Amino acid sequence: MHFSFVIKKNQVLRVALGLVTIGILALFSWLFFKLPDPTIFNANVERIFVETDFTSQTEIRLLEVLAASGSLFESSLQLQSQVIVTLMLLTFALVIVSAGLLAANLSMRQHIKEFKSRALRANAIAIRREDNSVLINDDRFSLTRSNIDTLALFLEARMDADYLTAIDLEALMSGKSPHDCDEAAGVMRIKRLRDALGNQIISELLVKHVPGKGYFLDIPKDQIKLE
């Protein structure tokens, strides 16, 4: 499933990158070929020199000015062509960088989903009341007696395909009638269970501490990608 998903992502990125590339090429090609040809102007000035017999100094000077302006026009068009090519290369570079960042973002999101589904999903759970601990996927976590009792009630409800409200939980824990229970007290019990288990799961599966050295991520080095 993951392999096919990666293939589909790559195909979409390739198609999108190809379409963007074709669009950029078409746009810059249109701009480039829309530039006027300075050689035509110079050729017309030269033809006038050849076909017309100018005698006055003013007429000859006028043609010299036209020829000089043609040379300036040709130089300006060459500069514009260089600017267009530079912008085209810069645009291609930005497109490639954007595509790389998009691919890295999609890959990172997929890795996060895989990590959550693989490492943080409870595939098996067992309570050990003798030492106030719980086994989740063969990993042992210590809890308080109150947290163990709270978790046990949730497990029983899950086995019965039932739901527990905060008031129901507080009533079962305290032995009181639901009408006499405060919902906030039940919510607090759930929060304590979440905090106790969540901190231990992260410490056990991901962020670990080595005395005298510090903290490190418990993940193989070859599985880490920084893009």
Beta strands in 25-155 (DSSP E): 125-128, 133-136, 139-142
Report the C-alpha gap between 198 and 191 in whole angstroms: 10
Domain-wise residue ranges, the chain? 2-119, 125-217
pLDDT average per 10 residues of sequence, the chain (227 residues):
50 73 78 68 68 67 69 70 78 79 76 62 82 84 90 88 88 89 90 88 73 73 62
Locate tokens 């701009």: which residue? 31
Angle between helix axes 166-174 and 183-205 (nearest 10 degrees) is 90
Tens digits of residue pLDDT in 127-152? 898 998 888 877 888 899 999 999 99
Task: Tell me the whole-structure pTM to 2 decimals.
Answer: 0.43
Q: Which two tokens stand for residue 11?
A: 């195909």
Q: Which CATH class is domain 125-217?
A: mainly alpha
| DSSP structure class, residue 1 | -
Q: Is 169 exposed, middle or buried (0-12, 13-18, 19+ CB in 10 A)?
A: buried
